[in-house]
Amino acid sequence: MALNAPVGLSGEDRQKCAFTMTAKATNLNKHGAAIQLNRELMVGSTVVVRNKGGTQVSARVVAQLPTLQGVPTYAIEFAEHDDKVKTFWGITFPSAESKGPTAQAAEQSGIMRRRRTIPSLRD
């Protein structure tokens, strides 16, 4: 979702210096978010993300994204899979089961289209 949320972030930066600072989470989803902060992080490192309610979860830095307005931006995914993560953003994300048949069919046809464009190893 194209929503923004202030978060606290703790971890080690690219120079192995420990930090705790505020950051901006964007493009929230049930698996993580994009995080903007004035620190350079290592892809593959683990950080602790804290929401405005004080809930903390571990997350992995999975990619460095293009900078936004000169601020380094990273994709993170939650490393935990418990109830804290499900409610971390304070948003209820729709499940695949709750999508209507039309949305499910469109999603599946998109998947099938992508599968057809990937060359087979047998070719």
Q: What percent of the chain has pLDDT over 90?
A: 58
Q: Select from 75, 41, 56 the least CA-distant residue to 8.
A: 56
Average pLDDT over residues 71-87: 91
Backbone angles phi, psi at 82, to 5 degrees: -115, -170
Average pLDDT over residues 41-62: 96
**DSSP helix/strand/coil, 101:** helix
By CB atoms closer than 10 A (0-12, 13-18, 19+), residue 48 is middle
pLDDT value at residue 83: 84
For residue 73, pLDDT over 60 is answered with yes
pTM: 0.73
